[in-house]
Amino acid sequence: MQTHVPQIFTDLQEHTVETRRITVLSAGLGVPSSSRLLAGQLAASAERQLAAAGYEVAVEVIELRDLAVDIANNFVTGYAGPRLAEVIADVESSDGIIAVSPVFSASYSGLFKSFIDVLDPKSLDGKAVLLGATGGTDRHQMVLEYAMRPLFSYLRTRMAATGVFAGPQDWGNADDGGSPLSERINRAAGEFAGLLAGEQPGRPPAAMESLPFEQLLAGISGRR
């Protein structure tokens, strides 16, 4: 009798949808924050492009200013409080990270670096990363290359080739999706989405989603 098992596995594969978990780190201090705004636009573009490629996307946005006291206490006590510990776990279990910092004294903010310092350096090994920065003048845009990129290179992450810097002129006009900033965001997010496609370092292959037994049995009977 002819077997129909291969067709069952085909049905299972057709119902398998992989999920990519993205953690967004915004080190902006103000409310509203240009860093938070840029982080949100980068995440939205990455989510759209991954969804178009057939992935489900789970995005978690973390505003580091809400964790400033917990981060400081961690340095003093060596212990991460419950809220900080939960955020650290979210970062370490994510597939990709979008990291955006304002520029202070020609580098990323102290709050941003302090949070990175409380992470286990090995926990970011192989993760996809998209970098962004905001500042009061375009003279700060190279912070992406001479400060943030070396930091994440040391942590052995896989970074999108394009980083996005946004200055005051980028927020001056209504954006219809065709502004230079939007173009940079979409390009960088596309590179980031490319890093998140396919098998991910340190992540086991996605398990196939099982159909209900009755549905599988009906499929076998229908093909006899």
pLDDT, one tens digit per residue, over 76-120 is: 999 999 999 999 999 999 999 999 999 998 899 999 999 999 999
- CATH number (3.40.50.360, 3.30.70.890, 3.40.50.720, 3.40.50.1240) of 19-207 reads 3.40.50.360
Q: What is the pLDDT of residue 22?
A: 98
What residue spans in the chain does CATH classification 3.40.50.360 cover?
19-207
d(CA 103, CA 109) in angstroms, rounded, equals 6
| Contact yes or no for 218/113 (Cβ under 8 A) | no
- pLDDT class for 213, splitting at 50, 70, 90? low
Strands 19-26 and 56-63: parallel
Q: Is the predicted pLDDT of residue 206 greater than 70, yes or no?
A: no
The answer to whether the beta carbons of residues 50 and 20 sit under 8 Å apart is yes
Q: Are 39 and 100 in contact (CB under 8 A)?
A: yes
CB atoms within 10 A of CB 159: 22
Query: Is 119 strand, coil or helix?
Result: coil
Instruction: Using alpha carbons, select from 90, 41, 42, 39 the residue that is nearest to residue 67.
Output: 90
Which are the contacts of 20, defined by CB distance < 8 A and separation ≥ 6? Answer: 50, 55, 56, 57, 58, 95, 96, 196
Burial of 207 (0-12, 13-18, 19+ CB in 10 A): exposed
CA-to-CA distance for 151 and 145, rounded, in angstroms? Answer: 10
Give the pLDDT band (50/70/90) at residue 217. low
pTM above 0.75, yes or no: yes
pLDDT of 10: 43
C-alpha distances (whole Å) from 133 to each of 15, 16, 44, 149 are: 39, 36, 17, 11
Bridge partners, 133 (sequence order): 101, 165
